[in-house]
Amino acid sequence: MSHRQRLESLSGLLLVLFVALLSSTVVSTALPKIIGALNGSQTQYTWVVTATLLTATASTPIWGKLADLLNKKLLVQIAIGIFIVGSMVAGFAQNAGELIAARAFQGIGVGGLQALVQVVIAAIIPPRERGRYNGYLGGTMALATVGGPLLGGLIADTAWLGWRWCFFVGVPVAIVALLLLQATLHVPTIKRKVKIDYVGATLISAGVSVLLIWISFVDHSFGWFSWQSIAMVGGAIVVLAAAIWVESRAAEPVIPLGIIRERTTALAIVASLAVGTAMFGGAVFLGQYFQIGRGYSPTEAGLLTIPMMAGVLLTSIVAGRLISVSGRVKPYILAGTILLVAGFALLSTIDHETSLVIVGAAMFLVGAGVGMSMQNLILAVQNSVPLRDVGAASSSVTFFRSLGGTIGVSVLGAVLANRVTDSITRDLAAAGLPTSGGDGGTSTLNLNALPDTVQHIVRAAYGDATGHIFLISAVVGVLGVIAAVLLKPPPLRTSLDVDSTADPAPEVGATADTVSSPAR
């Protein structure tokens, strides 16, 4: 394909990626107001994000495996349809529970879009050339992550729109992407007999879900060593062990154990866990920090997140160009993970009075780390596997990155809720005020309903607690640095497949016409 043909095919894919990212970032700055309007709690605040991440994580390997077996273009269009329905239902939610359920359904589509965009790009662009196109991906990501919070803030602050349009706004963009893909995307496909390991996928989803539910409620609804904790953690371990057993024996495993045992893939997965914590945790809790901890409006909070997104945009474009020239990806992944840890370490020092210059510098470092590492970790894995396995390999890395983000948001949210509860209760008691509102529930998020004195206590509690959770992120990020140091990816190949000179026999069930004809 010529450069122009690739750009035409990428146009719809980039718009799809924009829609998927926008669905999360447009909500990030408006979420405090949304949960306040729905009379929700801090735990529900976290689960509005976690529900989407959880279903996206659980469905990602299935989408990836389907991409190795079926028409990739059709799968992308199906994922867009699911996303549109989920967005509409979320916009009409009447309480926090309904919103969480709608976001969970929306996450199935988001998981498909996240995985399939990477898979389709790998099917049309050789790894060595993919670096330059990763710059376009980085620009799209930056536009969505910068524009999303700003757009969400403006929508939430505009009386004649209201927060519900944070969910409706992605629908017309998704429809345009659907039409654009129909006209521009032409990707070869090989028809094979579909054998999806639904048992393994169900067990993985169930095990991860139980762990996340336990993380959300432990030390608040029950103790760390209570019978509930033992039952939930023990049950999750048993279920995940069963999932590994099933995957090891499945004809078409959702997560191919042989692929993830490879050195490059295994280390990329470890690094992706750290990057996932950064990408999702940073966006979720920084928006809350600026609004509840510092008292800024949703629009102002969106503007204050620009340094992080500028870091993503700048480093992803520059690193992508340099990688295409040199054919080496490890130096940029290593530099990215180091910047990530440095940014989180600086963010761990913030409280409710920290200079915004310091906060902005820390966010820029975090964004630069994400921009240099996130896409390049997938590129390193795609470069080490044959084209027939690129869907499963790409989705495996995306799965664990999303899993890291899901666990990160849940753990950080639980730690934040507990510290905020303790701080509010202590400060209210010191001020001689009743402590019934300091439980991390409705009153701590619906600030407009609180007296000025209590508002100050709540804002200080959130502002001071945020730094503590980013210290945890910095510690997790060190694992990413270690993985990057140990990573030994081969030089980026210039062909789509491992051996471009070979003429392999068609897959079972495929014909010459099937292999060569584009999917429309």
Domain-located, residue 283 = yes
Report the CATH number that the domain containing residue 161 is assigned in CATH. 1.20.1250.20
Which CA distances in Å does 352 have to 295, 335, 357, 358, 467? 9, 30, 13, 12, 9
**Co-location of 201 and 183 in the same domain:** no
User: Using 50, 70 and 90 to split pLDDT, how confident is the model at 346?
Assistant: very high
Domain-located, residue 515 = no
**Co-location of 119 and 168 in the same domain:** yes
Query: Residues of 266-286 as b/e, b for ≥16 C-beta within 10 angstroms?
Result: bbbbbbbbbbbbbbbbbbbbb
- How would DSSP label each residue in 99-124? HHHHHHHHHHHHHHHHHHHHHHHHHH
pLDDT at 503 exceeding the cut of 60: no
Q: Which structure tokens are listed for 187?
A: 């990707």
User: Using 50, 70 and 90 to split pLDDT, how confident is the model at 342?
Assistant: very high
Q: Region 246-255: what's the mean pLDDT?
A: 78
pLDDT at 370 exceeding the cut of 80: yes
**Co-location of 104 and 228 in the same domain:** no
Which CA distances in Å does 281 have to 24, 268, 286, 443? 11, 19, 8, 23
Least confident of 59-73, 122-136, 259-273, 290-304: 122-136
Domain-located, residue 223 = yes
**Co-location of 184 and 216 in the same domain:** no
**Co-location of 243 and 282 in the same domain:** no
Would you state the pLDDT for residue 194? 57
**Cα dihedral: 439, 441, 444, 449 (round 10):** -120
Would you state the pLDDT for residue 335? 92
Highest mean pLDDT among 52-61, 205-214, 227-236: 227-236
Share of the chain above pLDDT 70, in %: 82
Summarize pLDDT for 118-147 with one digit per residue, the tens.
778 777 777 667 666 766 776 777 677 667
User: Using 50, 70 and 90 to split pLDDT, how confident is the model at 154?
Assistant: confident
- The residue from 232, 251, 270 where one domain ends is 251
Which residues share a beta bridge with 188?
A: 518
Which of 18, 45, 19 has its CA nearest to residue 33?
A: 45
Q: How big is the CA angle at 153 (ends 152 and 156), to the nearest 5 degrees?
A: 85
pLDDT at 520 exceeding the cut of 50: no
Could you tell me which residue, 165 or 143, shows the higher pLDDT?
A: 165
The conformation of residue 447, written as its DSSP 8-state character, comes to G
Would you state the pLDDT for residue 515? 36
**Co-location of 122 and 234 in the same domain:** no
Highest mean pLDDT among 68-82, 98-112, 189-203, 305-319: 98-112
Lookup result for tokens 């490059």: 264
Highest mean pLDDT among 122-131, 353-362, 430-439: 353-362
User: Using 50, 70 and 90 to split pLDDT, how confident is the model at 513?
Assistant: very low
Contact 425, 436 (CB under 8 A): no
**Co-location of 347 and 432 in the same domain:** yes
Would you state the pLDDT for residue 282? 64
Would you state the pLDDT for residue 517? 37
Could you tell me which residue, 496 or 456, shows the higher pLDDT?
A: 456
Would you state the pLDDT for residue 67? 77
- The residue from 213, 235, 251 where one domain ends is 251
CA distance 303 to 296: 10
**Co-location of 304 and 220 in the same domain:** no
Would you state the pLDDT for residue 509? 36
**Co-location of 279 and 171 in the same domain:** yes
DSSP helix/strand/coil, 39: coil
Which CA distances in Å does 75 have to 81, 90, 112, 363? 10, 23, 8, 35
Q: How big is the CA angle at 345 (ends 340 and 350), to the nearest 5 degrees?
A: 125
Domain-located, residue 500 = no
pLDDT at 254 exceeding the cut of 80: no
CA distance 335 to 331: 6
Main-chain dihedrals φ then ψ at residue 254, nearest 5 degrees: -65, -45
Would you state the pLDDT for residue 242? 92
Domain-located, residue 518 = no
Domain-located, residue 347 = yes
Share of the chain above pLDDT 90, in %: 10
Q: Which structure tokens are listed for 480?
A: 């990413």
**Co-location of 178 and 215 in the same domain:** no
Contact 54, 208 (CB under 8 A): yes
User: Using 50, 70 and 90 to split pLDDT, how confident is the model at 507?
Assistant: very low
Q: What is the 3-state secondary structure (H, E, C) of 246-292?
A: HHHHCCCCCCCHHHHCCHHHHHHHHHHHHHHHHHHHHHHHHHHHHHH
Q: Region 57-68: what's the mean pLDDT?
A: 76
**Co-location of 80 and 168 in the same domain:** yes
Phi-psi region of 290 (alpha: psi -120 to 50; beta: other; left: phi over 0): alpha
Domain limits at 315? 3-196+252-492
Least confident of 231-235, 332-336, 410-414: 410-414
Would you state the pLDDT for residue 327? 77
**Co-location of 375 and 437 in the same domain:** yes
Looking at the structure of the chain, the number of domains it has is 2
Contact 417, 440 (CB under 8 A): yes
Would you state the pLDDT for residue 448? 64
Average pLDDT in the chain:
77
Domain-located, residue 516 = no
DSSP helix/strand/coil, 203: helix
Would you state the pLDDT for residue 146? 64
Contact 278, 473 (CB under 8 A): yes
pLDDT at 43 exceeding the cut of 60: yes
Domain-located, residue 217 = yes
Neighbours of 503 (CB within 10 A): 6
Would you state the pLDDT for residue 238? 94
pLDDT at 233 exceeding the cut of 60: yes
Would you state the pLDDT for residue 495? 60
